[in-house]
Amino acid sequence: MANQSLRQSEIESLQYISSMTNELVQMAEASRFPMISYLLGMAYAEAFDILRGARPSRQAAPAARRKAPAGDSRPQPRRA
């Protein structure tokens, strides 16, 4: 079941991303870079899951952008 909430341009972007990451996974595996292969494989799986509708295409603001509650003393990520 395809994700019906995506625009055509988003579908094309996800198809391109999944295709390129799949090729990069193969390159990383052939060069014996297991961590790079794993991370690229996760990106491939995420794009593919969004395309087939198994995962929502958009989420609320990423955790790094959410405002910390008052009194939260955890360090915040640095921004460039």
The model's pLDDT over 1-51, given as tens digits with 9 standing for 90+, comes to 567 788 999 999 999 999 999 999 999 999 999 999 999 999 999 999 999
Residues near 18 by beta carbon (within 8 Å), at least 6 away in sequence: 44, 47, 48, 51
Contact 17, 47 (CB under 8 A): yes
pLDDT higher than 80, residue 52: yes
Going through the chain in order, the beta strands assigned E by DSSP cover: none
Q: State residue 5's pLDDT score.
A: 82
Q: What is the DSSP string of 60-73?
A: SS-TTTSPPPTT--
Contact 74, 68 (CB under 8 A): yes
pLDDT higher than 50, residue 80: no
